[in-house]
Structure 1
């Protein structure tokens, strides 16, 4: 958004928002199609062929090539994981830039900002793997997804409060139908997290 500054006029901001919306819709649609393709390939490859459920990434990596009949399958799987990791770290770097520059007013050279944000993302994960061994990778991955799920309401609810604040939104108020849809999604996220948390504690 910061690279798409169309001026401070309402028309310029609305134009920037239209482009941002199109950008997000295209990106999320492509991400959905890629993830759906991964699930379809996994289901078609392992269902009815492997007796025990595949619970480790390493198991999937070793079994893909024999099941699909080509050594490229495991290689492409590894490259896809690497690309997913790079995408995640790049997203984290961009988020760190927005937070540091927009909220904290902390401006650093690009290489320092990238080093700081990526170090905060990679060093804890690397330390856990080195300390607990390669076998802890799956547990670490699951734990990271649990943490991301639990922190999601802390991002969504303030966002909805900001969007509902007409004084803050000024000449660009959020439509009522969109606010209602947003609050519905936020409520579902909170309920699902609460259910998972209670289920996890109850065992």
Structure 2
């Protein structure tokens, strides 16, 4: 639940009721505290924890949320969605409906496209752009969080590296052609024109 509360901090959501319960974990539990958060059934001799009953739907997604929150993509999608919904969320359950459901859907779609190769290079770079080429292992780890095999992840990283090098060549060719136009340079610039035209950021990865 701590992870969920921390994610709620991106919005103006009152989490004080949950904070009080979580604080018991660090402050220690006595009999009174236990009575406040648990119910003992003499018939079954079982203890039912009632502390989070008001947020049952949130509790249900916690295992999935914990896994998702390990990845950069999920955190980026979460922050972007929080910025979009803004003041629409005022309660913990609002965050579940307004943010979690949308982010989970987009995360799943991104993962499916990443796995089957229908994601465009533009979309790939837009999402992973801040992870440098030198950090290929981190990128590989991020991709496998989508339940993608290491083999496919390695293939995607290799494709991305080749695309990055190609982009650098295209940018260089475009710069040369810009100088040629600006200063009316003469010569054979056909090779530069060919290089500048080869990249299409909308093609699948």
TM-score, length-scaled by structure 2: 0.27
Q: Give the number of the structure whose residues are more often helix, by fraction.
A: 1
**Taking CA–CA contacts closer than 8 Å with sequence separation of 6 or more, which of the two structures ends up with the larger relative contact order?**
2
> What TM-score results when the alignment is normalised by the length of structure 1?
0.27
